[in-house]
Structure formats: structure tokens, C-alpha cells
């Protein structure tokens, strides 16, 4: 497999084999991102197809100011956002994709079956809380904790300033802690919507 810069150069020169290599190399990751946002297989497949079409049309303008992966994720995130706006509906994120320990600083992992079940329930509850965030907080959390993107990469993918990304990650974690405390106390979400 050629290196990323060589692959991009060949695509920019109209090499269809190089574009096929690009598709093969990145389509699964793009589908994973689209699936995590849309939570519907066909909608995710459509978003990836639109992303690849956009990539094919705009690869000549790619200047390498960010990693190719970041550029592709930005395109697929924008495709998913457009789908969500058009459909005017929110989708659940994958319950398996975020470690609650990273967000809520929970304790050590254990191989005890009861602890594993407890972690699984905690993870499901956390994703229900993540789903309550609006997209401006939910997407940075998803890209950072699910895909391990840095603040700079998230900024590139979402078209935001890096400081804004860090601010939204902080606000998202704060909001999750608030929602977690309300849930632990058995109280309804009295804050309603986003207060951060």
C-alpha cells in the first residue's frame, strides 16, 4: 500500500486505481463514523457513498494541511449532519463505543463477572446521557473518545477553532457529570436542553 502523500498525488493526477486504493483503505473507518452518528445502516452507507463522491470531486483541492484521515472524517461528519438536518431526527450512538472510565473517571477494570455486568450497565447509561447532549457537544465527545482524534484533528473535522473544541469537550464532560448526578439521585433532567 503506498504512503498517504503518494496515494493523494496519484488520485489528484486522475489515477482511478489510486482512488480505489483510497476507498479500500478508508471506507470501513468512514462507515464506522457514519454509523456512530446516524445509527442506521442504510443512512450510514449513503453518507459514506456521498463522502467518497465528494472526495473524488474535491481531491484535487486537498493541500495536505491536515491528515487525509482528518479531511475524510470532516467530510463524512458534514454528510451525516446534513442527513440529520434533513431528517430532523436524532439517532442513538453505539452503546459499545465509549469507555465510561474515560469520561467519568470510574475505577479500575476487573475480571469479576459482576463487575463486568456493572460496567456494561454503566456504559449503556452513559451512552443514554451522551445522547442527551446536543450535537455541538456530542460530536466532539464522539470524535475524541471513540476515535481518539486530537483537539486539532477534531477542529479540522468540524471546522472549528482548536480552543472551541477544547471548550466543548470540557462543557460536554461537565454536562455529562451533571446528567449523571441527576440520574444517580433519581431526579428528572430539570435543566432541560443544553445549559452549558
pLDDT of residue 104: 53
pLDDT of residue 89: 38
Q: Per mean pLDDT, which range of 85-99, 108-122, 174-188 is the poorest?
A: 85-99
Burial of residue 165 (CB within 10 Å: 0-12, 13-18, 19+) is buried
Overall pTM surpassing 0.85 (yes/no): no
pLDDT of residue 27: 94
CB burial readout 31-59, b (16+ within 10 A) else e = bbbbbbbbebeebbebbbebbbeebeeeb
* Higher per-residue pLDDT: 100 or 107: 100
Flag whether pLDDT at 189 surpasses 70: no
Q: What structural domains and CATH numbers belong to the chain?
A: 4-87 (1.10.1740.10), 100-184 (1.10.10.10)
pLDDT in tens, 112-136: 666 766 777 776 777 677 778 888 8
How many C-beta neighbours within 10 Å does residue 111 have? 6
pLDDT of residue 147: 78
Q: Are 142 and 76 in contact (CB under 8 A)?
A: no
pLDDT of residue 126: 72
pLDDT in tens, 152-176: 888 888 888 999 999 999 999 998 8
d(CA 189, CA 170): 20
Amino acid at each position: 500500500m503506498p504512503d498517504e502523500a503518494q496515494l493523494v498525488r496519484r488520485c489528484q493526477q486522475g489515477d482511478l486505481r489510486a482512488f480505489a486504493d483510497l476507498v479500500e483503505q478508508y471506507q470501513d473507518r468512514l462507515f464506522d463514523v457514519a454509523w456512530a452518528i446516524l445509527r442506521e445502516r442504510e443512512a450510514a452507507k449513503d453518507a459514506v457513498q456521498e463522502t467518497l463522491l465528494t472526495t473524488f470531486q474535491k481531491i484535487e483541492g486537498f493541500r495536505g494541511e491536515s491528515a487525509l484521515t482528518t479531511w475524510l472524517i470532516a467530510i463524512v461528519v458534514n454528510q451525516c449532519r446534513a442527513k440529520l438536518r434533513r431528517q430532523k431526527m436524532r439517532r442513538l450512538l453505539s452503546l459499545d463505543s465509549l469507555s465510561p472510565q474515560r469520561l467519568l473517571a470510574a475505577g479500575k477494570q476487573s475480571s469479576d463477572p459482576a463487575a463486568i455486568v456493572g460496567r456494561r450497565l454503566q456504559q449503556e447509561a452513559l451512552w443514554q446521557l451522551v445522547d442527551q447532549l446536543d450535537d455541538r457537544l456530542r460530536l466532539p465527545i464522539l470524535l475524541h473518545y471513540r476515535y481518539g482524534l486530537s483537539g486539532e484533528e477534531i477542529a479540522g473535522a468540524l471546522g472549528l477553532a482548536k480552543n472551541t473544541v477544547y471548550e466543548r469537550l470540557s462543557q460536554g464532560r461537565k454536562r455529562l457529570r451533571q446528567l449523571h448526578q441527576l440520574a444517580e439521585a433519581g431526579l428528572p433532567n430539570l435543566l432541560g436542553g443544553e445549559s452549558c
